[in-house]
């Protein structure tokens, strides 16, 4: 293992924020390809997975005209992908909570972000969400 602790980026200052985003894969990196650049990036979404491709097609179908979340190479941006995962995890957690404790969600107390009164079953919901395995 090489202990490299510094990074040197020789680029225009306006290009630097683009290189440091989670959406690096959505940019055209052709200029870096033939200039001996050693660049490593991590993909948040496995766009080769058939389930992911199917889900992305469904999401794209319901987008208003002009508000595409996929770029031309069908790569989703990190923000919408993380939002989808968050809503999916919440729905799976609520489903698990209802399956295992059906009386809890039939007559829930009103939950409010403005009130300091916490939902009595919030920790149970958190535990169900925390135990999820999403692939």
Domain ranges of the chain: 78-135
62 is written with which tokens?
A: 């319901």
**What was the pLDDT predicted at 46?**
81
- The pLDDT mean for the chain works out to 77
Threshold 0.75, pTM exceeds? no
Spacing of C-alpha 121 from chain mean position: 26
77 C-beta neighbours (distance < 10 Å), count:
19
Q: What pLDDT digit, counting tens, does each position of 38-93 carry?
A: 777 777 788 788 888 888 888 777 776 666 666 666 677 778 888 888 999 999 99
Between 127 and 81, residue with greater pLDDT: 127
């Amino acid at each position: 293992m090489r202990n490299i602790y510094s990074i040197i980026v020789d680029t225009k200052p306006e290009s630097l924020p683009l290189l440091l985003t989670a959406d690096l894969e959505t940019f055209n990196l052709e200029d870096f390809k033939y200039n001996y650049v050693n660049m490593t990036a991590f993909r948040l979404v496995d766009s080769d997975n058939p389930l992911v491709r199917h889900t992305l097609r469904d999401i794209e179908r319901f987008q208003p005209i002009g508000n595409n979340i996929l770029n031309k190479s069908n790569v989703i941006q990190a923000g919408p992908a993380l939002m989808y995962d968050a809503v999916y995890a919440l729905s799976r957690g609520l489903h698990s909570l209802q399956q295992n404790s059906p009386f809890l969600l039939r007559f829930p107390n009103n939950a409010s972000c403005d009130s300091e009164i916490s939902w009595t079953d919030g920790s149970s919901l958190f535990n169900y969400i925390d135990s999820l395995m999403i692939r």
